[in-house]
Amino acid sequence: MSGRPNWELYFHTIAAAVALRGDCIRSQVGAVLVSPDNRIVSTGYNGSPPGGPSCHRGECPRCLSDAPSGSSYDGCVEIHAEANALLYANRADCIGATLYVTREPCDACSKMIRAAGIKTVRWPFQPAGRLTCNAGVTKVEDNESAPLTEEEERALSHREAYELARGTPARRYRTSGIR
């Protein structure tokens, strides 16, 4: 790998590393909250509250069920990565910030993100064109067919770092507005 990763890849790689601390046996998720001047404000991963029931110890009813991925989180004992990142940030640091996450936020986290004043949410691997309702929050659209910008070309040369940190193939992503 040559050169220096762009900010997008840098923060996504950090989010992937943070996700490794996740307590959930079904999915480890990481989040990095970044100020408009590219400073890390806080990080979060999905995990059990201190002293609470643990997914790793088999105490999460949702993980023990056959609930499909992405379905209702009723019964889940974990605090989501996005919520943890917001809990450890000052409100003033959230205004206008960008949240990098390793997967699309659920509806409950999307509401918290919007209420916290986060301006942009970015995650890789989003199906093309899938934008959800979060007026005022910019999400990311994976767009395989669009021509690459010069910065995206440079980011592709750093793709191996993200793949290594996350264990999955990285794909390019670009910002899109919310309908």
Task: Single out the catalytic residue among 8, 59, 78, 82.
Answer: 82
Q: How far is 29 from 17, CA to CA, in rounded Å? A: 9
Other C-beta atoms within 10 Å of 148: how many?
Answer: 13
Phi-psi bin for 129: left (phi > 0), alpha (psi -120 to 50), beta?
A: left
- Following DSSP, what letter does each residue of 42-67 receive, concatenated? EEEE-BPPTTS--TTTT--HHHHTTP
DSSP H helices, the chain, are 7-19, 61-64, 81-87, 91-94, 107-116, 150-156, 159-166
Based on the residue annotation, tell me whether 82 is a catalytic residue of this protein: yes
Task: Give the active site residues.
Answer: 82
